[in-house]
A and B are shown apart, each in its own frame.
Chain A
Amino acid sequence: MTAAPTGFEAELVPLLDRAYGLAYSLTHDRANAEDLVQEAALLALRAFAQFQPGTNFKAWFYKILVNAFYGQLRKQRRQGETVDLETLPSLYLYGKTAELGLQDHTDDPASALLSRLDAESIVAALEALPEEYRVACSLYFIQDFSYEDIAQTLAVPLGTVRSRIHRGRKLLQQRLWAIAEERGIVRQLKAQATA
């Protein structure tokens, strides 16, 4: 193989830490996350001649990373979870914290809940989302990608990105509440609200 074109590593290296965060949120496994980024980096190196200078390297690289992730999933024959998307409630966590009486106890109930959840819990909640929502939400939350960047990365229309983000956010709230219940955080908050 010939040497990498000048600039490839200069473009890639600043993205690596965030790419690892994205890979970890997709795989929920540290070794697999590292392997995934490495695989994507090698694929990107081989394809770099096709990259058009001046276009969005970040979106181009993440597209390769996400496709590599989908490739791994196909190998594992992992099936997506079926979710009833018609019945997703809005303001789920707001409603749940209001039921606890947390709104009366603090003027920042969202932080009161989320400060008790670590990054691992949030990644676990993300992992429980169906694949298409998990990928879109990971790009949205971890990379702070715009709809346009997500659409370019996933090669889907803007409307699809919008609905995946909106629904993914609602699903994520349900998962996070379930995790908070499992870990005794809801019980702690309830005690705090009634103290």
Chain B
Amino acid sequence: MKLPSRWHWPWSPRPYECADALARLDDYLDRRLTPKEQRLVEGHLAVCTACTSKYRFETTFVSELRGKLTRIDVPPRFADRVQEALRRAQAT
């Protein structure tokens, strides 16, 4: 028997709609969802290409930004200069 797409067992949580999933996008990106919310979001993404596209965009945005910002060039011998300053301070 084929069940309607929005059908769910009465004792299981109501599946997320787009609005539910999008309301949790920020917390999903920050890994702050509860395991139950996480399952419900993933369940929705499995059947909704529009939300999947938005989630993928935001996830990539965060990872690309993080990747670029952690590659900021550090001046040559920067750590040496800080350590020299520390030693000078200890010597005085």
Q: Do A and B come from one complex?
A: yes
- Partner-B contacts on A (CB < 8 A): 1-4, 8-9, 12-13, 16-18, 20-21, 24-25, 30, 34, 37-38, 41-42, 45-46, 90-91, 93-94, 97, 103, 108-111, 114-115, 117-119, 122-123, 126, 138, 141-142, 144, 147, 162, 165-166, 169, 172-173
B69 touches A21 (CB 8 A): yes
Give Cα distance in the complex from A115 to B68, angstroms: 9
Among B53, B79, B90, B92, max chain A CB count under 10 A is at: B79
Contact pattern, B 67-92, Cβ under 8 Å of A = 1, otherwise 0: 01111101100110111011001101
Give Cα distance in the complex from A107 to B25, angstroms: 19
Contacting chain A: which of B3-11, B38-46, B58-66?
B58-66
Contacts of A25 in B (CB 8 A): 69, 72
Asked, given contacts A91-B54, A110-B60, A166-B26, whether A142 binds B70 with beta carbons under 8 Å apart, the answer is yes
Partner of B25, one of A20, A90, A118: A90
Partner of B57, one of A3, A93, A119: A93
B70 touches A18 (CB 8 A): yes
Contact pattern, B 23-52, Cβ under 8 Å of A = 1, otherwise 0: 001100110100000000000000000000
A119 touches B61 (CB 8 A): no
B78 touches A142 (CB 8 A): no
Give Cα distance in the complex from A45 to B91, angstroms: 13
B86 touches A34 (CB 8 A): no
Contacts of B61 in A (CB 8 A): 93, 110, 114, 173
When C-beta atoms are compared, the residue in chain B nearest to A121 turns out to be B68
Interface residues on B, range: 20 to 34
Among B25, B61, B70, B71, max chain A CB count under 10 A is at: B61
A114 touches B68 (CB 8 A): yes
User: Whole-angstrom distance from the CB of A62 to the nearest CB of chain B?
Assistant: 15
Contacts of B66 in A (CB 8 A): 141-142, 144
B30 touches A119 (CB 8 A): no
Contacts of A103 in B (CB 8 A): 53
Asked, given contacts A30-B75, A111-B60, A111-B64, whether A38 binds B82 with beta carbons under 8 Å apart, the answer is yes
Give Cα distance in the complex from A24 to B64, angstroms: 18
Give Cα distance in the complex from A156 to B72, angstroms: 27
